[in-house]
Amino acid sequence: MSDPVVEAKRDAGIRAADMVKDGMVVGLGTGSTVFFAMERLGERIRSENLHIFGVPTSNQTAMRAEEYGIPLTTLTLHPKLDLAIDGADQVDPKKRMIKGRGAAHLREKVVADAANQFVVVIDAGKEVAGLDAAVPIEVLPFAYGSVVRRLQELGGEPVMRNGVKKDGPVISDNGNYVIDCAFGAVADPAGLETAINAIPGVLGNGIFARMTEKTVVIVGGRK
């Protein structure tokens, strides 16, 4: 029997991939929903002779792109992208979101920022009335202790993200630590995004509250 959440993710991914036009340069996010979009892009490359390039946001996405036959490029060669496709962990009615379950949010935000349009693919379970998930924060290992103290001063409860099947901290694709910091209900997502980023040693955080105008949310299974 098919899983309705998986089918919703597949539907969202396919619909996002079908927004891609010949000649586009596309940001490729990270996560199970984006991988459905990438699988579909690979099929379109073969069946329609679609010519596109992708910019991957993680090592895992780069490996999937190879598997699906999506040619890759870099932000150095293509600093402006036509669109970026990515998943999210929570999305509110104003299209503000929390990302970073996969610890790829730093590169995901860089790639989303570079794109003319940000296409977010989710299942309905990701929709929330207000953001309240712990915020993933990528941190320079040298600054870990002082960043923890600053996050506590902001009212957060920072927890080091530890590995699964690996002892000790998760090391991001960029060689840094990841802190998950709960703030309860986030009343001002844009303000909190800015306040966290202002802490020396923070490299990026998973609140995406400043690109809502160019964001399109596709909820799988819903037209």
Residues within the annotated binding site? 30-33, 86-89, 99-102, 126
Measured CA to CA in angstroms, residue 89 lies from 22, 85, 205, 214 at distances of 30, 14, 13, 18
Binding segment toward ligand 5RP, per CB under 6 A, in 102-110, 146-154, 155-163, 176-184? 102-110
> Binding ligand 5RP by CB under 6 A: which of 64, 95, 96, 99?
99
State the chain's maximal CA–CA distance in angstroms.
55
User: Which residue, 29 or 54, is less far from ligand 5RP as judged by CB?
Assistant: 29
User: Which residue, 96 or 99, is less far from ligand 5RP as judged by CB?
Assistant: 99
Catalytic residues: 108
Question: Does residue 205 interact with ligand 5RP by CB under 6 A?
Answer: no
* Cβ contact 120:105 at 8 Å: no
Binding segment toward ligand 5RP, per CB under 6 A, in 80-88, 109-117, 141-149, 174-182? 80-88
Question: Does residue 180 interact with ligand 5RP by CB under 6 A?
Answer: no
Binding segment toward ligand 5RP, per CB under 6 A, in 85-93, 156-164, 179-187, 213-221? 85-93
Q: How many CB atoms are located within 10 Å of the residue 122 CB?
A: 23
Binding mask 4-43 for ligand 5RP (x = CB under 6 A): -------------------------xxxxx----------
Q: Which residues of 5-14 are buried (b: 16+ CB within 10 A; e: fewer)?
A: beebbbbbbb
Q: How many CB atoms are located within 10 Å of the residue 41 CB?
A: 27
Residue sitting closest to ligand 5RP (CB): 31
The residue among 105, 109, 166 whose CA lies nearest residue 135 is: 105
Residues annotated within the binding site for substrate are 30-33, 86-89, 99-102, 126
Packed helices 32-47 and 59-68: angle between N→C axes, nearest 10 degrees: 30
Q: How big is the site for ligand 5RP, counted in residues (CB under 6 A)?
A: 17
* Cβ contact 221:123 at 8 Å: yes
Where does this chain bind ligand 5RP (CB under 6 A)?
29-33, 86-89, 99-105, 108
